Structure 1
């Protein structure tokens, strides 16, 4: 049996919940399909020491401020999970678990969402599946020959699992810096990065990042020169554990190695470091395989959008995958505005209101 609704939201993490909030306010009939068994999205799978970049009040979804976490300026992942679960209940959002979307298909005037537990038909779809389920590991010589443990960011939990071991952390972004800092005291650490790590000023946190992302998007929309916003000053937010490890001399990055052997990593000059484990903090790709039947992806792997709306399928909106689907839309504080825009666009289109009349 195929169930019917106005809007299907695919993904029950922060982006899906923000979309649900605005769809609820507009009075639309909708369903949120979440592949996870519990609330909290990707936050419930984060490593133990992960904290937000911003205070709670600056890390909130629309309509409900995140309460502060006692004793913490920057809330941890467990606090975020509790907040998202409360948010879902407070607004009585219709989340269906565990339901994994396997394909979105055109079906006349409707879109049909196939899942592992039946099909849904709707007049619009919001895809909000994020990136956490698609970890990226680069191709490098010898990676399949390495006999030690290989973990991606998604699999790392805490330093105690690797205490006393020779560990190589790969990646010069925020996750690489935070996990390297987490391991710096209890392991024989090597931190490998493509470029010299670029730290933002110590007083910059998520509040400033969001403000800069918003200003950058405004400048681009107005045809002004792209200044790259805060990214022009650095890439790594110096959260307290990272700052402490850096200032104590424990975070010293090495250039990226060129190959792996059975027991070590090796550089172009044949310098070799033995390793028991490698942690790949090398990012993610958008989880878009469920949209493959629509044939919308460009050669670069993204789906072209105007705002959140897919260029090749106006009934589809993409939310929370990065700046290409809204400034800072992959963050708690940043997803609210593009979620509102997507919900209003859908509402107007379903009501038959021409764009120029809005």
Structure 2
């Protein structure tokens, strides 16, 4: 069965919902295809103690403030899932699920979206699949030698299953710090990072990060010198659990090991640490395999864009993959502006 829509949005996480909000304001017909069986995007698959970096009022999608969460300055993932589900329902966004997109193809004046439940033909496509579905694991010597458990951020749920175990957490970003803090009280924890962890000042949260990312993008667009953006401030937001573990001396990072060995890890000087499990908090890559047939990727794997629009396929917009598709566009507060710009560009294209 083949159906037609002016716009197909792929993914109904925060980016897809923000796109839907602005497409409706432009008066465009659209459908949102979501591979998940329930609302909430990737937030419904995160670890139990995950908290946002900003208060609720500064973590909102366009048109609808996120309600505060009782007894929590920084809302947890469950609260975000509830907010996204309410947002989808409140604006009656046309989400079809579960629908897995298999590929996007050129088809004359249309883009053809092949799915596991039929085909869509669209005048424009917004890809909003994010990065959660493509975890990155670095190549480390001895990967096949380690006999313990190996998992990525996406597989971590909470500290209970690791109680009393020897756990190594790899990664100096927010995920690494939050998971290390989560485990610090009940495990024999080793936290390793490629460079010494850089904690932001305790009074800096996602609001300041969004402002820094926006200022950097504006400076670069205007031909001014690079302000450094978020990277100039630090890497880790000191949300309360991280701050508590740090202040109690439970969150001390060591240097990255050089190889895995059967019982744990080894550093260049021969020092070893035993481990029952290694948790890799090493980031993600854009989940773009559904766009392979369009042959748009450059040497580094990114698709060249101007704003959110793909340079080599103007009917395609990419939303929510990071600063290369809009300042702070991978955040709740940051995705609204590039979503608005994408909807306006599509409206002009179809006019």
What's the TM-score, normalizing by structure 2?
0.99
Partner of 1:292: 292
- Give matches, 1:263-274, under 5 Å: 263-274=263-274
Partner of 1:137: 137
Partner of 1:321: 321
Partner of 1:41: 41
Q: Name the CA distance, whole Å, in 2 between partners of 1:8 and 1:263.
A: 49
Displacement of 1:4 after TM fit?
0.3
Give the unaligned 5+ runs of structure 1: 352-358
- Give matches, 1:130-169, under 5 Å: 130-169=130-169
Pair 1:125-2:86 in alignment: no
Partner of 1:354: none
Partner of 1:64: 64
Q: Name the CA distance, whole Å, in 2 between partners of 1:145 and 1:94.
A: 48
Q: Name the CA distance, whole Å, in 1 between partners of 2:194 and 2:349.
A: 45
Q: Name the CA distance, whole Å, in 2 between partners of 1:70 and 1:242.
A: 20
Partner of 1:355: none
Aligned partner of residue 218 in structure 2, secondary structure: helix
Q: Name the CA distance, whole Å, in 2 between partners of 1:328 and 1:260.
A: 35
Q: Name the CA distance, whole Å, in 2 between partners of 1:294 and 1:195.
A: 38
Aligned partner of residue 250 in structure 1, secondary structure: coil
Q: Name the CA distance, whole Å, in 2 between partners of 1:168 and 1:76.
A: 24
Q: Name the CA distance, whole Å, in 2 between partners of 1:232 and 1:187.
A: 33
Partner of 1:91: 91
Moved over 4 A (4+): none
Aligned partner of residue 16 in structure 1, secondary structure: helix
Q: Name the CA distance, whole Å, in 1 between partners of 2:234 and 2:334.
A: 20
Q: Name the CA distance, whole Å, in 1 between partners of 2:340 and 2:265.
A: 47
Displacement of 1:233 after TM fit?
2.6
Q: Name the CA distance, whole Å, in 2 between partners of 1:45 and 1:144.
A: 27
Partner of 1:257: 257
Partner of 1:22: 22
| Per-residue deviation, residues 76-107 of structure 1 (Å, max 9, x unmatched) | 00000000000000000000101111110000
Q: Name the CA distance, whole Å, in 2 between partners of 1:7 and 1:144.
A: 45
- Give matches, 1:233-252, under 5 Å: 233-252=233-252
Q: Name the CA distance, whole Å, in 1 between partners of 2:72 and 2:239.
A: 12
Aligned partner of residue 147 in structure 1, secondary structure: coil
Q: CA RMSD in A?
A: 0.6
Q: Name the CA distance, whole Å, in 2 between partners of 1:119 and 1:19.
A: 21
Aligned partner of residue 182 in structure 2, secondary structure: helix
Displacement of 1:292 after TM fit?
0.4
